[in-house]
Amino acid sequence: MGTVVTIDLYNQTEFSTAAASSHLARARTILQHADAVFSTWKPDSPISRLRRGEITCEQTPPEVAEVLEHCMIARGLSGGWFDPWAMPGGVDPTGYVKGWAAQKALAALVSTEIPGALVNAAGDIAGFGGPALGEPFRVGVIDPFSRGDLACIVQLVGAIATSGTYERGNHLIDPHSGRPSVRVASASVTGPDLGLADALATAAAIGGEEALALIEVIEGYEALIITFDRTWNWTSNFPFAD
């Protein structure tokens, strides 16, 4: 997947080192397997071979069919602003799979020994619990015009993904034109699942107001977009922290 993932565990008492290590090992195995299967940076990965037409979907690991099925759902929910089948070089689920893998890794951490955890996949974050009992996680959204500052603070409700060109340049492809293009400087999406939030954030960055209106009606998901003229627009229940 070509990125860095960090995991933070929180507890109010002493951790059982053995239990924490066991959960972390499972999470790490999930992430490494996802990278081996889905990395477009690895020429021999199943997704790279599928993109080149060397194998069929039926010949790939079962996770590929699972991810592509979810991508199809995300494509429908986003009105086609997220579309892995419209990417140059063949199907590319990168805009979904990073969040999907992080969410899978988070699930491996759920236990009575770990009351709070965050999985951060290059700024896209999934979590459960909080830093202290009864206290939710709060996450900062970077100001796309000043990357050393925060635009706002968000109360984490499951997961948050942010998309834009302010860090990686023009890497987002408009599926309607096949060319790099975005309508906003930054788009953040919150919701219960980081995979779908990741895909919808990509859609909102490319589709702008049109995509924002579509996210408004998706149960459990909220979005914030910051336009190039620094205007903010958001869905009705976006979880700004007090």
Among 213, 186, 209, 234, smallest CA distance to 77 is for: 213
Q: Which domain holds residue 74?
A: 5-234
Residue 240 lies in a domain: no
Does residue 66 sit within a domain? yes
The reply to whether 242 falls in a domain is no
Kindly state whether residue 239 falls inside one of the protein's structural domains.
no
Is residue 196 assigned to a domain?
A: yes
Contact status, residue 181 vs residue 86, Cβ threshold 8 Å: no
Residue 119 covered by a domain: yes
Q: Which CATH number do you get for residue 30? A: 3.10.520.10
Rounded CA-CA distance 106/23 in Å is 9
Rounded-to-integer distance, Cα 62 and Cα 163, Å? 28
**Using CA atoms, how far apart are residues 100 and 30, in angstroms rounded to an integer?**
11
Question: What is the amino acid identity at position 109?
Answer: L
Number of independent structural domains in the chain: 1
pLDDT in tens, the chain (242 residues): 678 999 999 876 666 777 788 999 999 999 999 999 999 999 999 999 999 999 999 999 999 999 999 999 999 999 999 999 999 999 999 999 999 999 999 999 998 888 899 999 999 999 999 988 889 999 999 999 998 999 999 999 899 999 998 877 678 999 999 999 999 999 999 999 999 999 999 999 999 999 999 999 999 999 999 999 999 999 999 999 97
Return left, alpha or beta for 238; rule: phi > 0 is left, psi -120 to 50 is alpha, else beta: beta
> pTM of the prediction?
0.95
The length of the chain in residues reads: 242
**Residue 92 forms part of a structural domain:** yes
The number of CA neighbours under 13 Å toward the Cβ of 89 is 11
The answer to whether residue 143 is domain-embedded is yes
